[in-house]
A and B are shown apart, each in its own frame.
Chain A
Amino acid sequence: MPASLLIISRQAPWSGPSAREALDIVLAGGAFDLPIGLLFLDDGVFQLAPAQNAKAVQQKDLSANLQALSLFGVDDVFACGNSVTERGLAPSALNMATVQLLDPEQISSIIDRYDQVITL
């Protein structure tokens, strides 16, 4: 059994390359068929905001890459429910229909479930 890896993505998509670089680890893991999960936490949930206009800040839109996750076999995509609501995002309007919203207790057990964790 390959070791499983959870990436916790905590940065907004416009705050520098961090969000993209976290996602790149996930996509690379998916490409190698490894058991990999992605958790959006804190400002990381802004990556799930609908109707982003990345062009307005001369950035590339990350949303398309999020939609590629399932193509790369990454189905375990989670977001912290508290982070979502604290930032005024509507859970029903996130740009990824398949993201699972978790409460703090579930987040603890998800982190426990993975062999290794990287927080970016």
Chain B
Amino acid sequence: MKFAIAVFSAAHAPSSRRALLFSQAALAGGHQIVRLFFYQDGVYNAQDTSVTPQDELDLPRQWRAFVTEHQLDGVVCIAAALRRGVLNEEEAGRYQRSAVNLSAPWELSGLGQLHDAVQAADRLICFGGP
């Protein structure tokens, strides 16, 4: 089955952890993930600047490793990210901000990528939300 995964909660939320576990289980079960889309506070899962105490779960790092290892399409909504200060080099330059906290494998793109994923997938699975 082809899954599209949407994450709406921040990295410290239990639902974000479940999103990663579900995604890992989906691939382990022989399924395909057409895209991971991070929206609303979900954009915080992709930021490089979260620092987690050593004995705690570092979810942003785990997401990064997972997406990199499986060469997944990890898309972060650009409007949601800008609003929350999650910027890649290009956007930090565009808006003259001193910090860059988003980099490959993550890609900033628009909501069209969510709709595109919904069309390409058999199932959309959402995690988190207000």
What is the distance, in angstroms, from A20's C-beta to the closest C-beta of chain B?
A: 10
Of A74-82, A101-109, A112-120, the segment with at least 4 beta carbons within 8 Å of chain B is A112-120
Could you tell me which residues of chain A, from 1 to 23, have a CB within 8 Å of some CB in chain B?
2-3, 5, 10-11, 15-18, 21
Q: List the interface of chain A (C-beta within 8 A of B).
A: 2-3, 5, 10-11, 15-18, 21, 24-25, 28-29, 32, 34, 116-120
By a CB distance below 8 angstroms, the chain B residues around A25 are 39, 111, 114-115
Q: Could you jot down 26 A-B contacts, CB within 8 Å?
A: A2-B119, A3-B119, A5-B115, A5-B118, A10-B130, A11-B130, A16-B130, A17-B40, A17-B80, A17-B83, A18-B40, A18-B130, A21-B80, A24-B79, A25-B39, A28-B110, A29-B115, A34-B119, A116-B118, A116-B123, A118-B126, A119-B126, A119-B129, A120-B8, A120-B40, A120-B130
Flag if A28 contacts B8 (CB, 8 Å). no
Flag if A120 contacts B129 (CB, 8 Å). yes
- Given the known interface contacts A10-B130, A120-B40, A120-B129, the answer about A28 and B111 at a Cβ–Cβ threshold of 8 Å is yes
Which chain B residue shows the least CB distance to A26? B111
| Contact of B6 with A by CB under 8 A | yes
Flag if A32 contacts B112 (CB, 8 Å). yes
Flag if A118 contacts B6 (CB, 8 Å). yes
By a CB distance below 8 angstroms, the chain B residues around A116 are 118, 123-124
What is the distance, in angstroms, from A5's C-beta to the closest C-beta of chain B?
A: 6
Which chain B residue shows the least CB distance to A34? B115
By a CB distance below 8 angstroms, the chain A residues around B126 are 118-119
CA distance A25 to B39 in the complex (A): 10
Known: A3-B118, A17-B83, A32-B112. 7 other contacts (CB 8 A): A5-B115, A17-B40, A17-B80, A21-B39, A24-B111, A25-B111, A119-B129
CA distance A3 to B120 in the complex (A): 9
What is the distance, in angstroms, from B4's C-beta to the closest C-beta of chain A?
A: 8
Flag if B124 contacts A118 (CB, 8 Å). yes
